[in-house]
A = this chain, B = another copy of it.
């Protein structure tokens, strides 16, 4: 009886499962918390450990790349097929802070398997999802009888993602030639649920803005002057109130310029997802949904641009009262952007709008930061099709589509390398990213291994360079 490639892959994974989990556990024991300076040596140790493991896996090149902060790991395994596409896998080896007393049932840096789950800080975010590529590429070689992958395979695993990736863009720019790729595969997201495998097709972009409003030269008495001079806290509030129209649509002229609207097919696909609004509200810790008219909750968080107030402040905020007109007030806004929107254009639109809103006698200063472009891969992109097929083979189920409402360093790869960004993740919402008792489902982790074992062959077959 001849083996199909799929059964070869599965058998190979079963045979190497124990060693794979032992290795992952060893890596998880390194508390590579990038946000805590006293763990800087651990983050370096984590990078060294990974580079050595990738060399052991077979990558001819595996290097630790220093940055002014924590180091990244870069590895490369060229295909023996010169027409094969080049794929760059992105992930991170640093983790969120964690301490047993935060509510962990076991030491966050002493990985523990309970039932069919592996509990440890980084199990899902992101060491587990980086590590499945090691066994995945070995299974791919074993099943195909190759000695090099079917695609030119590159890995860039950064060490500061949980600290806001402060040096990531510069690192990518510095190494742009070596990082050049036809597609980027981000291995740092999740899927809809255990029962619903999905591929994420895009992330929202970001523009952040702090607005400072100045009124009187000092706090003045609201009895003596109230009702007769402009109040900067009122001006701040009126700016915020003017952000949205009565349909909860952003009311800044030009804000929606260029927005790539959802297609009917995308909306139909979103609607197929088993969305439970009550459950979603519990996750959001919120007590009602509210958003742009004419769109569902999923459309609002995944595919529509937004304006949110992250902070507002002015005047007296202590106990009791103080009858003043404050000298100044402040608003922190973040705009989530979707495909077609440009952070620079949004900045210009916000500046022009804010200046028109502010009354005479109030001076306003705007400071922008955090500009991140949105990413969106069209549903018919050949690389996305390959991911969907590979995942479908591994899971034996229809693969559906999601998007991600947040923003991430993947956008820097898209911008600098000019490559489309795809997202391949097997984590599920219950994995508890950034929370106590983070875990990964072992079955899903091995489906991740299996997906990548199929993916490189599928990509090489369907998305070859012209000879």
Q: Give residues in A with beta carbon < 8 Å to B.
A: 204, 206, 208, 210, 215-218, 220-231, 233-234, 236-244, 281, 284-292, 297, 300-301, 304-306, 308-317, 320-327, 329-332, 334, 336, 359-363, 369-370, 404-407
Contact A227 B286 (CB under 8 A): no
A288 in complex: contacting residue of B224, B240, B281, B359, CB < 8 Å: B359
Known: A311-B315, A314-B312, A323-B206. A228 touches B290 (CB 8 A): yes
B220 x A336 contact (CB < 8 A): no
**CB-CB < 8 A to A329: which residues of B?**
312
User: In whole angstroms, what is the CA distance A36 to B361 when docked?
Assistant: 36
- Residue of B240, B290, B316 near A360 (CB, 8 A) is B290
Partner of A406, one of B221, B310, B336: B221
- Cβ–Cβ contact B304 & A227, under 8 A: yes
Contact B321 A208 (CB under 8 A): yes
- Give the residue of B234, B284, B334, B361 whose beta carbon is less than 8 angstroms from that of A309: B234
Known contacts A310-B315, A310-B316, A311-B314; 10 additional CB pairs below 8 A are A217-B285, A217-B286, A220-B285, A234-B244, A238-B241, A310-B321, A311-B315, A312-B312, A322-B332, A323-B334
Contact between chains at B229 and A234 (CB < 8 Å): no
A370 engages B317 (CB within 8 Å): no
Would A287 and B361 count as touching, CB distance under 8 A?
Answer: yes
- Asked if A228 and B330 make an inter-chain contact with CB atoms under 8 angstroms apart, the answer reads no
B228 and A233 contact, CB distance less than 8 A: no
Are A234 and B228 in contact, CB atoms less than 8 angstroms apart? no
Q: Is the CB of B227 within 8 A of A292?
A: yes
Chain B residue contacts of A231, Cβ below 8 A: 308-309
Please name all residues of chain B whose beta carbon is closer than 8 Å to the beta carbon of A330 when the two chains form the complex. Answer: 317
Asked if B359 contacts A230 (CB within 8 A), the reply is no
Q: Is the CB of A228 within 8 A of B321?
A: no
Contact indicator A332/B316 (Cβ below 8 Å): yes
Contacts of A322 in B (CB 8 A): 310-311, 332
Q: Given A238-B240, A334-B321, A370-B321, are A230 and B315 also a contact pair (CB < 8 Å)?
A: no
Cα–Cα, bound, A414→B8 (Å):
94
Q: CB distance A315 to B316 under 8 Å?
A: no
Which of A215, A223, A243 lies at the interface centre, i.e. has the most chain B CB atoms within 10 A of its CB? Answer: A223
**Cβ contact within 8 Å between A332 and B317:** yes
Chain B residues near A218: list those with CB within 8 A. Answer: 285
Task: Say how far A202's CB is from chain B's closest CB, in angstroms.
Answer: 13
Q: Is the CB of A241 within 8 A of B233?
A: no
Please name 10 pairs of A and B residues whose Cβ atoms are closer than 8 Å in the assembled complex, sorted by A.
A223-B406, A226-B405, A227-B305, A228-B300, A229-B291, A233-B310, A240-B241, A310-B323, A321-B370, A323-B334
Residues of B within 8 A of A404 (CB): 223
Return the chain B residue nearest A280 by Cβ. B228
- How many angstroms between the C-alpha atoms of A242 and B326 in the bound complex? 19
In the complex, the chain B residue whose C-beta lies closest to that of A292 is B227
CB proximity of A129 to chain B, nearest CB, Å? 18
Interface-central residue, A221, A314, A323, by most chain B CB under 10 Å: A323
Contacts of A362 in B (CB 8 A): 287-288
Distance between A387 CB and nearest chain B CB, rounded to angstroms: 22
B230 lies within 8 A of A286 (CB): yes
Max count, chain B CB within 10 A of own CB: residue among A228, A289, A312, A332: A228
Q: How far is the CB of A267 from chain B (nearest CB, A)?
A: 16
A220-B285, A290-B360, A316-B332 given; A308·B236 CB < 8 A: no
Contacts of A314 in B (CB 8 A): 309, 311-313
The minimal Cβ–Cβ distance linking A241 to chain B, given in whole angstroms, is 3
Check A317–B311 contact: CB distance below 8 A. yes
Residues of B within 8 A of A204 (CB): 223
